[in-house]
């Protein structure tokens, strides 16, 4: 049994393969046919996809190892799956694969308060890890909207980003140690707790962000940071994108406790202000850019009002120096939540045939990128609506595109227009969502032939039969 290029299986004998899985792994681990719940073959926000040949739900690392060894023997393609909240269809089966869902291998194995580390199993929901860190008097460095349903193994496999990267870095920077299982079932355990360890190649980085194509993440040791105190949150208005960049550099140099720096282009802010019921905009929508700034010292370093005072002082000098035109500082948790609700911008999902893009460019280039991208879309489709927002301190911008008659043109046509501008400007077609299945046709827009050849060599070295998540990334 082999997955062909397009992902459609050449079914040599699927029934026999499933029988072997059931016989060797047992029906506590293996689920087949109609008993497989549709959530295991449904991408985020989409209709159910292709039912996998089998669903395997390991309880131990040894279960994962035996499953992979068996899939290698059978040349049976396998899709590792965490919470399946990804936006690039990296965790969905394309047809003919088995799905390996990690949810039963969950839980916190250890918190080492002296080392400042937490050791977790891949299937643990992110929020569970955050809460355990919090209870031990620390803060986890990663946070994102899907915290309740995404799993830490998936966060690692996709190198998740989120809203705190300017302070703590992305998921990759949180991982000190990692255990992964290779395609042939070999368990590679490197559960390092040290900040400095130069004993040979740092293998964890091979697996982090490889979206399950080089190995299956089973356990990890994550850094813990000093516990955060309550944050202070503000919105400020500036005239244009260059002023956003100036403000960013001022803020990072004068407000060391900054944790989020999020920009909203005027069209985005106007739209969400007008279309978010129950939220009163703290700053009136006009032609300016609006920036959300949040800061938080560590709990032990600050009194409750310190963050507020520090943010107020910083914004005061920014105003005096002409770096911002206006600002609103949240005076209650409710006001801060409203600011985040606007920034999260769920309102734009109601635009007809809405498409979401996640790209990155050098920070100084993002303003021109947004203009060129909008112009390219309007040139092709004069009625195209595009809105821009994102984690500017991380060089990450999200783009929302709406075309009332999108079904006529197809999503691919829009992808090509947006990613062509990214390519021309030397950006990345994926800032934090990964490549998965959706962006695979465009990998060459951001990676050279030489880079892709190195990726292929690594794939061939670690998964010579190509059974791990075929048709994804490469």
Q: Cβ 295 to a second copy, closest distance in Å? A: 11
Size of the site for a second copy (CB under 8 A): 93
Q: Which of 199, 320, 332, 407 binds a second copy (CB under 8 A)?
A: 199
If the CB atoms of residues 55 and 361 are measured against a second copy, the closer one turns out to be 361
If the CB atoms of residues 178 and 351 are measured against a second copy, the closer one turns out to be 178
Q: Which of 197, 303, 333, 350 binds a second copy (CB under 8 A)?
A: 197
Q: Which of 8, 11, 12, 253 binds a second copy (CB under 8 A)?
A: 253
Question: Which residues from 373-432 bind a second copy, rule CB under 8 A?
Answer: 391, 393-396, 427-432
Question: Which residues from 449-468 bind a second copy, rule CB under 8 A?
Answer: 450-455, 457-458, 460-462
If the CB atoms of residues 130 and 297 are measured against a second copy, the closer one turns out to be 297
If the CB atoms of residues 356 and 428 are measured against a second copy, the closer one turns out to be 428
Question: Which residues from 320-379 bind a second copy, rule CB under 8 A?
Answer: 360-365
If the CB atoms of residues 98 and 302 are measured against a second copy, the closer one turns out to be 302
Q: Which of 94, 108, 122, 214 binds a second copy (CB under 8 A)?
A: 214
Stretch that binds a second copy, among 22-30, 95-103, 203-211, 331-339 (CB under 8 A): 203-211
d(CA 289, CA 269): 8
User: Which letter, b or e, does each residue of 14-34 get, where b requires 16 or more Cβ atoms within 10 Å of its Cβ?
Assistant: eeebbeebeeebeeebbbbee
Stretch that binds a second copy, among 11-19, 93-101, 195-203, 280-288 (CB under 8 A): 195-203
Count of beta carbons in the 10 Å neighbourhood of residue 221: 24
If the CB atoms of residues 283 and 468 are measured against a second copy, the closer one turns out to be 468
Q: Cβ 194 to a second copy, closest distance in Å? A: 4
Q: Which of 12, 35, 194, 346 binds a second copy (CB under 8 A)?
A: 194
Backbone angles phi, psi at 171, to 5 degrees: -55, -45
| Binding-site string for a second copy from residue 108 to residue 147, where x marks contact by CB under 8 A and - marks none | ----xxxxxx------------------------------
If the CB atoms of residues 52 and 367 are measured against a second copy, the closer one turns out to be 367
Q: Cβ 34 to a second copy, closest distance in Å? A: 35
If the CB atoms of residues 81 and 159 are measured against a second copy, the closer one turns out to be 159
Question: Which residues from 231-250 bind a second copy, rule CB under 8 A?
Answer: 245, 249-250
If the CB atoms of residues 33 and 362 are measured against a second copy, the closer one turns out to be 362
Q: Cβ 23 to a second copy, closest distance in Å? A: 27
Full 3-state SS string of the chain: CEECCCCCEECCCHHHHHHHHHHHHCCCCEEEHHHCCHHHHCCCCCCCCCCCCEEECCCCHHHHHHHHHHHHHHCCCEEEECCCCCCCCCCCCCCCCEEEECCCCCCEEEEECCCCEEEEECCCEHHHHHHHHHHCCEECCCECCCCCCCEHHHHHHCCCCECCHHHHCCHHHHEEEEEEECCCCCEEEECCCCCCCCCCCCCHHHHCCCCCCCCEEEEEEEECEECECCCEEEEEEECCHHHHHHHHHHHHHHCCCEEEEEEECHHHHHHHHHHCCCCCCCCCCCCCEEEEEEECCECCCCCCCHHHHHHHHHHHHHHHCCCCCEEEECCCHHHHHHHHHHHHCHHHHHCCCEEEEEEECCHHHHHHHHHHHHHHHHHHCCCCEEEEEECHHHCEEEEEEECCCHHHHCHHHHHHHHHHHHHHCCCECCCCCCCCCCCHHHHHHHCCHHHHHHHHHHHHHHCCCCCECCCCCC
Stretch that binds a second copy, among 17-25, 170-178, 279-287, 330-338 (CB under 8 A): 170-178
If the CB atoms of residues 151 and 395 are measured against a second copy, the closer one turns out to be 395
Stretch that binds a second copy, among 49-57, 126-134, 166-174, 272-280 (CB under 8 A): 166-174
If the CB atoms of residues 52 and 436 are measured against a second copy, the closer one turns out to be 436
Burial of 198 (0-12, 13-18, 19+ CB in 10 A): exposed
- Does residue 206 belong to the site contacting a second copy (CB under 8 A)? yes
Question: Which residues from 254-273 bind a second copy, rule CB under 8 A?
Answer: 254-257
């Amino acid at each position: 049994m082999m997955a062909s290029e397009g992902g459609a299986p050449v079914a040599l004998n699927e029934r026999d393969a499933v029988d072997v899985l059931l016989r060797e792994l047992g029906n506590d681990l293996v689920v087949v046919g109609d008993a497989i719940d549709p959530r295991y073959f449904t991408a985020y926000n989409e209709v159910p996809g292709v039912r996998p040949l089998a669903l395997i739900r390991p309880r131990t690392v040894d279960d994962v190892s035996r499953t992979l060894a068996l899939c290698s023997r059978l040349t049976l393609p396998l899709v590792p799956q965490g919470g399946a909240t990804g936006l690039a269809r990296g965790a969905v089966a394309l047809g003919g694969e088995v799905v390996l869902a990690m949810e039963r291998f969950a839980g916190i194995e250890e918190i080492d308060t002296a080392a400042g580390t937490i050791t977790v199993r891949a299937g643990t929901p992110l929020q569970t890890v955050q809460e355990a860190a919090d209870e031990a008097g620390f803060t986890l460095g990663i946070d994102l909207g899907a915290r309740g349903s995404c799993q830490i193994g998936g966060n690692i496999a996709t190198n998740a980003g989120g809203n705190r990267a300017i302070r703590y870095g992305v998921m990759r920077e949180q991982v000190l140690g990692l255990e992964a299982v290779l395609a042939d079932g070999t368990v590679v355990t490197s559960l390092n707790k040290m900040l400095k360890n130069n004993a040979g190649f740092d293998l964890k980085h091979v697996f982090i962000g490889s979206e399950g194509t080089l190995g299956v993440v089973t356990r990890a040791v994550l850094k813990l940071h000093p516990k955060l105190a309550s944050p202070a949150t503000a919105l400020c208005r500036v005239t244009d994108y260059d002023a956003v960049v100036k403000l960013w550099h001022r803020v990072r140099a004068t407000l060391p406790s900054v944790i989020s720096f999020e920009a909203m282009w005027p069209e985005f802010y106007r739209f969400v202000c007008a279309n978010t019921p129950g939220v009163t905009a703290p700053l009136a929508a006009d032609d300016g850019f609006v920036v959300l700034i949040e800061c938080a010292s560590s709990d032990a370093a600050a009194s409750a009002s310190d963050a507020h005072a520090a943010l107020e002082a910083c914004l005061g000098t920014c105003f005096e120096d002409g770096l911002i035109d206006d600002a609103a500082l949240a005076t209650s948790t409710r006001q801060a939540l409203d600011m985040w609700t606007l920034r999260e911008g769920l309102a734009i999902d109601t635009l007809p045939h809405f498409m979401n893009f996640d790209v990155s460019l050098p920070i100084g280039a993002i303003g021109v990128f947004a203009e060129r991208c909008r112009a390219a879309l309007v040139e092709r489709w004069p009625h195209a609506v595009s809105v821009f927002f994102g984690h500017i301190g991380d060089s990450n911008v999200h783009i929302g595109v709406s075309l009332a008659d999108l079904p006529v043109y197809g999503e691919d046509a829009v992808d090509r227009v947006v990613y062509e501008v990214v390519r021309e400007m030397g950006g990345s077609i994926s800032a934090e969502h990964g490549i998965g299945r959706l962006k695979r046709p465009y990998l060459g827009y951001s990676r050279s032939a030489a880079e892709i050849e190195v990726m292929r060599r690594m794939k061939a070295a670690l998964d010579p039969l190509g059974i791990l998540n075929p048709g994804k990334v490469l």
